[in-house]
Amino acid sequence: MLQLEDGRQVPALLHVQGKTGLDAAVPLPPIAVHIGERWGWKFPARREQERNEWIKQVARGAGLTREWDDRLISGGKVKHNWRPLWQVISSHTARHTAATLLKQVSKNNKALAKLVLGHAEEDVTDRYAKDKARLLAPAVLDAWKEILGPWYDSTPGY
């Protein structure tokens, strides 16, 4: 749980940031809490490699076969590498999508995306280092409401 400035407590996921060494508490929308509770907060495929393989299987089964140019740049030259989308998708894809959506619905507030991604940027770090998760949690939850719409606080069907 994450305690807000006004005293309310909201569920949050503690995410350890390997690159920066800073932990980020990301506020969760109610639907994410329902899913977590449904699975007792224990999810399969905990290792990143296993998780990414599982995501690829789900994406393939969902028919994500559109071609994607997973291009490589080496020595200033582009090498095109066209593959089906299901082969390219990973947890990293979802992470960047979430950050992009949060940035868009928060009117380009880079701090929200930085909180979710955990990247350190000097001006953001200086401004929010004291207690950025607690200060930004209401804005993150508002962004989740806009992204998820009617699903924000619904109970998913299983």
What DSSP string runs through 46-58?
-SHHHHHHHHHHH
pTM, entire model? 0.46
Cα–Cα distance, 3 to 122 (Å, whole number): 25
Kindly state the tokens that stand for 133.
Answer: 């998760």
Residue 77 is classified by DSSP as E
Residue 151 is classified by DSSP as G
Lowest mean pLDDT among 36-50, 58-72, 96-110, 142-156: 96-110
Is 60 exceeded by the pLDDT of residue 119?
no
pLDDT digits (tens, 9 = 90+) for 68-83: 887 877 888 888 889 9
Lowest mean pLDDT among 77-81, 114-118, 154-158: 114-118
Residue 83's pLDDT is what?
A: 92
Which pLDDT band holds residue 123 (cuts at 50, 70, 90)? very low
Strand runs (DSSP E) across the chain, as ranges? 2-3, 9-10, 12-16, 23-27, 67-69, 72-74, 77-79, 82-84
